[in-house]
Chain A
Amino acid sequence: MTVVIGFEGSANKIGIGIIRDGEVLSNPRRTYITPPGQGFMPSDTARHHRAVILTVLKEALEQAGLKPADIDCVAYTKGPGMGAPLVTVALVARTVSQLWGKPLLGVNHCIGHIEMGRLITKANNPTVLYVSGGNTQVIAYSERRYRIFGETIDIAVGNCLDRFARVIKISNDPSPGYNIEQMAKKGSQYVELPYTVKGMDVSFSGILSYIEEAAHKMLSSGQCTAEDLCFSLQETVFSMLVEITERAMAHCGSQEVLIVGGVGCNLRLQEMMGVMCKERGAKLFATDERFCIDNGAMIAQAGWEMFRSGQVTELEDSWITQRYRTDEVQVTWRD
């Protein structure tokens, strides 16, 4: 049996999870929530993580009913993400690894999402749509790499949603995306917005600047409601995401889709993807917010796979990096 503890804190969530051979033993998490209209800044986010990380660690061990001696490997997020929070969490991971005398493992955050999705849904070899605040990628596996077939040319879809939420002052609690999703359910009027798909790539900066410019005018003139805007924005950006996923599936001859990342728990996105899959005779796999949103177990799971295939990270190599592409990682644990 192999037990891996994973530390994740690359953005505004701090999570620590423990995995034992495919079983999630614990996965506590905290979120740094900012006031409406504000995004999260690196140093404030790092301060938040520092303040709670030891409490979360204690919870993770207690809920799993394990002692440090039961752990075989300490995995942490090496990147990509925000510098200051990454450094904070890596420092704690390094410390406990030395205190407990257990090997360290630096994990690519995106690979964590993919491996967690595969574990939970049992999807075998899916086309992966990875959608979060910082990333928008369509990924498929071949020859020991998760290869990026499509991605955003500019900003991530989650970033587009979050910044829209700031423009019309939607609450960040529990997350801007969740609140947009709830408001969208009450919207009915479809407002046409720019739609930009380039092959398997997408662009969201045009739609964001359009809506930043037009939102207040449309709202104050009574042309549409805030709910209508949420609805229209979701319908438009999710259609783009489903479209590039379908393009990648056709190109790769794939019949499975897995959605991962924080935006992936949006039920409307899942519903739209499900309709597309049905039209192609394909199968959709998705998870709920426990595993879609950044968490510690996903880092533990990717770490588990890496550790079992013989990888460890030496102390002097245990740095972090803000940019770390999914396709840089040699996937040593799959054929």
Chain B
Amino acid sequence: MAQEKNMAVPQLLSNVELVKQGAEARVYRTEFLGKPTIVKERFPKRYRHPVLDQKLTHRRTVQEVRSILRCRRAGISAPVVYFVDYMSHCIFLEEVVGSLTVCDHIASTQQSESCQDQELEWLAQRVGQILAKMHDEDVIHGDLTTSNMLLRRGPEDPESNLVLIDFGLSYISALPEDKGVDLYVLEKAFLSTHPNTEALFEKLLKSYTASSKKSSAVIKKLDEVRLRGRKRSMVG
């Protein structure tokens, strides 16, 4: 019976370890075909109307998988997708083992005294490069924050050390406006999360500009969107 088949994934999840409840999904750790695996479950959000919930959940699961594949095909690090269950809206992803979020990394580096500037500048440069590459593929992430970038620890090739995750709000667009807004969202999240990092974010944008062929139109749009933000009426 279809009903029974639908239960397979949720039943599996009842026995695995809940890692955290993210911004919209529950994230579990398990093994899939012998590999360390993260299961991202978009559970029903009871606060919103079921019709809206179903539409958003489905769209985001589809978009997440689609954009991860598109990025990986272009050589941008994102977790491998092992399996998707569109009934329970679960995505089985490669676990980036021993990783930490860029958010946590910046916070702990800022706390420690030693050589933080160089360390973080390198990171900002890498983030700028990877986002430029992503935008050149016309992937708009839609939710760029430092929580949605992972750092793989270990002495591997620095190229693959930064991993982009959480593509649920992503979509495909070639418009500089959409890319500019993507950067604007990141800028605000970045600066509010990490106090006194204006110079660091400048580095990130410089590296983005240098790495993308189409960056000048995007940065122009970014400036426009910033200005709109500053001019916005605040009446009421």
Contacts and interface: CB of A to CB of B under 8 A. Distances in A.
B145 interface: yes
Interface string A129-172: 00011110000101101011111111010110000000000000
A153 B225 contact: yes
A239 B169 contact: no
A334 interface: no
Interface of B: 21-24, 45-49, 51-52, 55-56, 103, 142-145, 147, 169, 181-182, 184-186, 188-189, 192-193, 195, 225, 228-236
Contacts of A147: 192-193, 195
A200 B195 contact: no
B189 A235 contact: no
Given A239-B48, A251-B23, A145 B232 contact: no
B234 A134 contact: yes
Contacts of A197: 169
Given A236-B52, A242-B47, A251-B193, A199 B236 contact: no
Provide the main secondary structure of the chain A interface: mixed
Given A272-B48, A323-B234, 4 more contacts: A79-B234, A81-B235, A235-B49, A246-B23
A27 to B, nearest CB: 19
Interface of A: 10-12, 79-82, 132-135, 140, 142-143, 145, 147-154, 156, 158-159, 190, 192, 195, 197-201, 235-236, 239, 242-243, 246-247, 250-252, 262, 271-273, 275-276, 279-280, 322-324, 327
A150 B193 CA distance: 11
Given A199-B185, A250-B147, A158 B47 contact: no
B232 A190 contact: no
Contacts of B233: 134, 322
A149 B189 CA distance: 6
A199 B169 contact: yes
B235 A82 contact: yes
6 contacts: A149-B193, A150-B188, A235-B49, A242-B47, A247-B24, A247-B143
Nearest to A324: B234
A200 B186 CA distance: 9
Given A197-B169, A273-B47, A276-B47, A323 B235 contact: no
B66 to A, nearest CB: 18
A322 B234 contact: yes
Contacts of B46: 275, 279
Contacts of B23: 246-247, 250-251
- Taking each of B47, B145, B235, which has the highest tally of chain A beta carbons within 10 Å of its own beta carbon? B235
B192 A134 contact: no
A200 B21 CA distance: 16
A150 B46 CA distance: 22
B188 A145 contact: no
A317 B144 CA distance: 39
A239 B236 contact: no
Given A198-B142, A247-B23, A250-B147, A242 B48 contact: yes
Contact of A251 (B47, B103, B225): B103
B234 A199 contact: no
A185 B47 CA distance: 16
Contact of A153 (B22, B189, B192, B229): B229
A132 B234 CA distance: 9
B189 A275 contact: no
B235 A195 contact: no
Contacts of B48: 235, 239, 242, 272
Contacts of A145: 195
A59 B195 CA distance: 44
A199 B47 contact: no
Contacts of B186: 199
B187 to A, nearest CB: 11
Contacts of B169: 197-199
Contacts of B51: 190, 192
Given A134-B233, A135-B234, A198 B49 contact: no
A254 B203 CA distance: 29
A200 B47 contact: no
Counting from the closest, the 6 A-B pairs by CB-CB distance are A133-B236, A134-B236, A80-B234, A275-B47, A147-B192, A250-B23
Nearest to B185: A199
Contacts of A153: 181, 184, 225, 228-229
